[in-house]
Amino acid sequence: MYKRILLLVNILIFAFGYSCNAQTKEKDTLPIKTSFQEAAPWNAAYDIRTDIAMVYGMDSTFYQRVEGYRKHGYNVQFMTGIAWGNYQDYFTGKWDRKEHEEDEGQVEKNGNHIGHGKGIPYVVPTDNYITYFKTIIKKVIDAGITSIYLEEPEFWAKGGYSKAFKEEWQKYYGFPWMPQDESPEATYLSSKLKYHLYFHALKEVFQYAKSYGESKGIQVKTFVPTHSLLNYSAWSIVSPEASLAALPGMNGYIAQVWTGTSREPVYFNGIKKERVFENAFLEYGSMLSMVAPTGRKVYFLTDPIEDRARTWDDYKINYEATYTAELLYPAVDNYEVMPWPHRIYLGKFKVEGSNEKEPIAPSFATRMQVMVNALQKMPLSSNQINGSKGIGVLLGNSMMFQRFPIHESYEDPQLSDLYGMLMPLLKRGIPVQTVHMENLGFANTLKNIKVLVMSYANMKPQSEKVNDQLAAWVKLGGVLIYYGRDNDPFQKVKEWWNTNGKNYPAPSMHLFERMHINSTENKAMYTYGKGKIFIERKDPKELVMESDGDTSYMRILKEAYQKEANAGKLKFKNYFYLERGPYDIASVMEESVNDQPLHIKGPVIDMFDPLLPVLQEKIIYPGHQCLLYDLKRIKEKNIPEVLCSASRVYNEKRQKNSFSFIAKSPSNTQNVIRILLPAKPSSLAVKDAEGKSLESTYDWDELSHTCLLQFVNSANGRSVNIKW
């Protein structure tokens, strides 16, 4: 009897193990191109049909939500906040019989606790909190989820006054806590510790996720959804950012860029205002530069709306701007198409000229779904955005260390010591790249950079290796332009350049010494090896906070690029354009070298128009963007194909004189589909999932041989059958 029971147990264990392995292998083969995050359960009203549904947060409904999305065909993954979340069992003491909200929340100087909502503090990630967090990860992996996203590791720069933070200071530095407002050094050290604490927290949690997954025969992947370094620096938030790219066990990022981050005002030509497209372009670029040398994956996020209440009209304009910006990076084809679809489809917001809140307009929903489904088909491309290539601007995580509070009256309004190097180039149509100093050790980081612009006014190198790597690049032929007066108060903090036998008044002096430069000679240009160095004693903020302040900057850049780097002619224009598969993507800028519109010859389908018209020419005016389907690039014009759709298309079947497919999209939204056909339809039928005929309309465009089909969507699917 005992042997029979033991045999049965072994059979069950084997079967369970086989089932888990089979399930894991099945998950590994599920598509991963597009995703969304959602805390609410599956609902037909916002079933947007991406590949991945990132179920958000651990609560009593977690398992039901996971199964709900799995049931509807999603690759279910998990996301939660690492710095905040509904972790009341920890804060209130239910987990370990000790209350933690008062001591472990982030606290301002005046004693105010910094929260993400009522009862949800931003956390100081202590060892105890990390231990608690691992219990969440265990439940997630036990539920069969193999991809985990820990979002927004955020420590507010103003939040260094809690009991827990003071204790972490003592442990990390070995001397008593200093109030961050008392000196530049205290500010710098405070933010440096905040940066370390979330790096350490993610390292510990990711290592646990990997090892626990391995113990169950599962390979767990881990990601960090995070704002860009530009945005965190502008908003005075500290986060590990680029350092995570080299963290063992970290598979990649989600670039959390959207209207809410990109509308942060910046200076250009002496004027401070929102420049959403330009800012989004730079934010996405900075996120790509974190992973490009490492080969890690990055998803680009954009959001049709945002956290702050605006009007539907405002959302529409800025959604186009951020969406276009992300598409102009052809090396990325993974997208989080939106966060929180429930608030988009079920929420209410104002329209221009009214105080009444209204649900999303049918035309906006249709247009948005066309754009989302275009991301599903958006290819990688070896094509490059037009413009003079090879110009980079150096970034560093330490930009976040200097933002709060202000010392000795030295200000960097709206991060202008960075944007001063970026905006003059971008506004002249130069696709400037950003380069993270944390990645300089990777061989490919500066591979395609001909001219690198930098300053230590807005950041500081965290080790002398940065200067060694820069000097080595110049010696081999790179051209470096250094801007900075080097008189900001953070030059004097006790760091590697002025301790342990070193006595440099600024880290730039160490860099110049490495290249045998005597910067007191006040020369404009120096030679080191095969390379050149330009030194301009202005802070970069002066280039954009003053009208026409960038004139000398552009003169130096032109000389560096054309003459010293021999990189070709530096071309100025007012637009960016990219051909990507069948798509034409363009943005025309205001405040640029001219006000001329961009003309794109057709026939093209205008995918920002909810009626998907076929145009013989598209004209894009300054301040506007476009996404076009270029019909000239269709190779097989006699093969039927869905070109653009406000639904995701499945089960395409082509026969001699017919074409059929299934279309799925959020229920009760208006579908519009532009379909390429060999001939005008002789019949067209749309049916629901039960086979019942539905009302639909279609128009035939003889010139493009396309049919425009419209009907009401359903999450359960609509079958379309066309004959000719």
Tell me the three-class secondary structure of 83-144, residue by residue: CCCCCHHHHCCCCCCCCCHHHHECECCCCCECECCCCCECECCCHHHHHHHHHHHHHHHHCC
Q: Kind of pairing, strands 297-301 and 252-256? A: parallel
Give Cα 506 distance to the centre of its chain: 33
Mean pLDDT of the chain: 94
Q: How far apart are CA 326 and CA 306, in angstroms?
A: 17
Q: How far apart are CA 596 and CA 320, in angstroms?
A: 20
What local confidence, expressed as pLDDT, does residue 9 receive?
35
What pLDDT digit, counting tens, does each position of 373-393 carry?
Answer: 999 999 999 999 999 999 999
Q: Is 556 helix (H, G, I), strand (E, B) or coil?
A: helix
DSSP sequence for 225-242: EE--HHHHHHTTEE--GG
Mention the CATH class of domain 641-723: mainly beta
Over 50: is that where the pLDDT of 220 sits?
yes
Q: Kind of pairing, strands 75-81 and 52-56? A: parallel
CB 695 within 8 A of CB 680: no
Alpha-helical (H) ranges within 292-397 are: 312-327, 341-345, 362-377
Q: How far apart are CA 435 and CA 438, in angstroms?
A: 9
Over 70: is that where the pLDDT of 5 sits?
no
Phi, psi of 77 (to 5 degrees): -125, 180
Alpha-helical (H) ranges within 445-577 are: 464-475, 507-514, 551-558
Q: What angle do CA 392, 418, 427 make, to 5 degrees?
A: 65
Confidence of residue 260 (pLDDT cuts 50, 70, 90): very high
What pLDDT digit, counting tens, does each position of 338-358 carry?
Answer: 999 999 999 999 998 888 999
Q: How far apart are CA 353 and CA 616, in angstroms?
A: 34
Contacts 24+ apart (CB under 8 A), 56-65: 56/80, 57/85, 57/86, 58/136, 58/139, 58/140, 59/86, 62/139, 62/143, 63/143, 65/40, 65/41
Q: Which residues pair with 649 in a beta bridge?
A: 663
Between the alpha carbon of residue 22 and those of residues 17, 146, 308, 564, the distances in Å are 8, 13, 44, 59
Buried b (16+ CB within 10 A) or exposed e, 344-383: bbeeebbeeeeeeeeebeeebbbbbbbbbbbbbbbeeeee
Amino acid identity, position 260: G
Between the alpha carbon of residue 248 and those of residues 114, 242, 427, 439, 665, the distances in Å are 31, 13, 38, 15, 39
What pLDDT digit, counting tens, does each position of 542-589 carry?
Answer: 999 999 999 999 999 999 999 999 999 999 999 999 999 999 999 999
When pLDDT is averaged across residues 658-682 and rounded to a whole number, the result is: 98
Q: How far apart are CA 289 and CA 300, in angstroms?
A: 13
Q: Is 153 helix (H, G, I), strand (E, B) or coil?
A: coil
What pLDDT digit, counting tens, does each position of 303-318 carry?
Answer: 999 999 999 999 999 9
What pTM was computed for the model? 0.95
What pLDDT digit, counting tens, does each position of 420-442 carry?
Answer: 999 999 999 999 999 999 999 99
> Which is nearest to 141 in space by CA: 71, 210, 81, 67?
210
> Which is nearest to 437 in space by CA: 507, 539, 386, 491?
507
What pLDDT digit, counting tens, does each position of 507-554 carry?
Answer: 999 999 999 999 888 888 999 999 999 999 999 999 999 999 999 999
Q: Is 581 helix (H, G, I), strand (E, B) or coil?
A: coil
Confidence of residue 717 (pLDDT cuts 50, 70, 90): very high
Q: Is 191 helix (H, G, I), strand (E, B) or coil?
A: helix
What local confidence, expressed as pLDDT, does residue 118 receive?
83
Size of the chain, expressed as the number of residues it contains = 724
Over 50: is that where the pLDDT of 22 sits?
no
Mention the CATH class of domain 391-564: alpha beta
Over 60: is that where the pLDDT of 24 sits?
no
What local confidence, expressed as pLDDT, does residue 482 receive?
98
Q: How far apart are CA 280 and CA 275, in angstroms?
A: 9
Q: Which residues pair with 507 in a beta bridge?
A: none
Q: Exposed, middle or buried by CB within 10 Å (0-12, 13-18, 19+), for 266? A: buried
Q: How far apart are CA 411 and CA 403, in angstroms?
A: 9
